[in-house]
Amino acid sequence: MPRLSTLAHLMISSRCTLALFVMTSLTIADSVSSQRGRRPEVPPEVKERWGNYFTTISIKTGAQNNIVSDLAKTDHVKNAAAEKHLSLIYFYDSSDDTKKREAFEQNIFNHNKINPGLRLFRCGRVDLANNLPARKKLVKVVPTFVVFGKTGEKIAQVPMERYKVVPAKLVRILKVATIGYNRPGWDNWVREYGKFVRDTKNMIAHQKILAAKRVRIGDRVDSSAKTTLEKVEVDERKLKRKMAAHYEREKRLLERAKVPERDPDAVLVGEKKRRRR
């Protein structure tokens, strides 16, 4: 069998190096935010923090009912008030155009102030498609939000007719509702928890990058691989300690801000869907 020329050796080596680079790049690309193509999967640790979860509630309506005023009598609002928590009820109509409704929810609930701000509220939602009397009375103002204070008093109703996203309207009322509620206050809470979530994303991305380096090392036992592996292990230990302290800080932040416990039956609303290529 003829021996390969030096040029052939170089070509093969270059192709192997290129293949390894591509594999590693693809692994890392899935763990950090991409500028093009499909949106990366949101890690569960982020989704459960940077997401708005709502319990499904039902309301009784009759010919004489003032629907919005009577909301203060619902178990959702009364239970929150019993524990001195803020609450909110979101009216929507699942029979409306799905794309329009989902686009509205994705925009309003992923707003950089509304998203962390709603963590301070017990959130419930009412589907008007399942309640025709209520639908007839509220159809002109759906979607709409009704905000309640810590004693169960109604603060305000915030309609966003025809799915027009106006975050400032809701932010203004949410901010009013939180006055005197906790020590951080609205602005500090939104800023601090927003930073916490961003730091969480960065740490998780770092975890995945380190995991990708382990994959790249594979079963190699040469001195270069051993040196790289030692550095990866050191970085992993540092990151583990950093994340432990990070989550301990979160506990103190949630307690200080009086964030209510999430209902186990609550569902995520407004999650951004992954784009297809």
Residues 57 and 128 in one domain: yes
- pLDDT tens digits, one per residue of 101-120: 999 999 999 999 999 999 99
- pLDDT tens digits, one per residue of 146-166: 999 999 999 999 999 999 999
Is 194 within the bounds of a domain?
A: yes
Mean pLDDT of 266-275: 83
Which position has the higher pLDDT, 54 or 66?
54
Taking only Cα atoms into account, the Rg of the chain, rounded to an integer number of angstroms, comes to 25
- Cα–Cα nearest to 96, from 105, 86, 88: 105
DSSP string, the chain: -PPPPHHHHHHHHHHHHHHHHHHHHHHHHTTS--SSSSPPPPPHHHHTTSSEEEEE------TT--HHHHGGGSHHHHHHHHTT-EEEEEEE-TTS-HHHHHHHHHHHHT-TTHHHHGGGEEEEEEEGGG-HHHHHHHGGG-SEEEEE-TTS-EEEEEE-GGG---HHHHHHHHHHHTTTTSSSHHHHHHHHHHHHHHHHHHHHHHHHHHHHHHHHHTT--SHHHHHHHHHHHHHHHHHHHHHHHHHHHHHHHHHHHTPPPPPTT-EEESPPPPPP-
Question: What pLDDT is attached to residue 60?
Answer: 79
Residues 148 and 233 in one domain: no
Residues 101 and 201 in one domain: no
Which position has the higher pLDDT, 68 or 246?
246
The tokens 């540092």 sit on which residue?
238
Is 43 within the bounds of a domain?
A: no
Q: CA 87 to CA 172: how far, in whole Å?
A: 15
The partner residues of 89 in beta bridges, in order of sequence, read 124, 146
The full length of the chain comes to 277
The percent of residues in the chain predicted with pLDDT above 70, rounded, is 83
Residues 169 and 140 in one domain: yes
Is 161 within the bounds of a domain?
A: yes
Neighbours of 66 (CB within 10 A): 9
CATH code for position 145 = 3.40.30.10
Q: Are strands 121-127 and 52-56 parallel, antiparallel or unpaired?
A: parallel
Number of domains in the chain: 2
- pLDDT tens digits, one per residue of 136-146: 888 889 999 99
Mean pLDDT of 203-231: 95
Is 277 within the bounds of a domain?
A: no
Residues 77 and 151 in one domain: yes
Residues 117 and 215 in one domain: no
Residues 236 and 126 in one domain: no
- pLDDT tens digits, one per residue of 5-23: 544 444 444 444 443 343 4
Residues 163 and 227 in one domain: no
Which range (127-141, 146-160, 207-221) has the least confidence? 127-141
User: 222: domain range?
Assistant: 187-257
Residues 194 and 174 in one domain: no
Residues 176 and 197 in one domain: no
Q: CA 125 to CA 114: how far, in whole Å?
A: 16
Is 92 within the bounds of a domain?
A: yes
Is 83 within the bounds of a domain?
A: yes
Is 219 within the bounds of a domain?
A: yes
Residues 222 and 155 in one domain: no
pLDDT at 276 over 80: no
Mean pLDDT of 217-229: 94
pTM of the model as a whole: 0.81
Question: What pLDDT is attached to residue 38?
Answer: 56
- pLDDT tens digits, one per residue of 26-53: 444 444 444 444 556 788 999 899 889 9
Is 235 within the bounds of a domain?
A: yes
Residues 158 and 191 in one domain: no
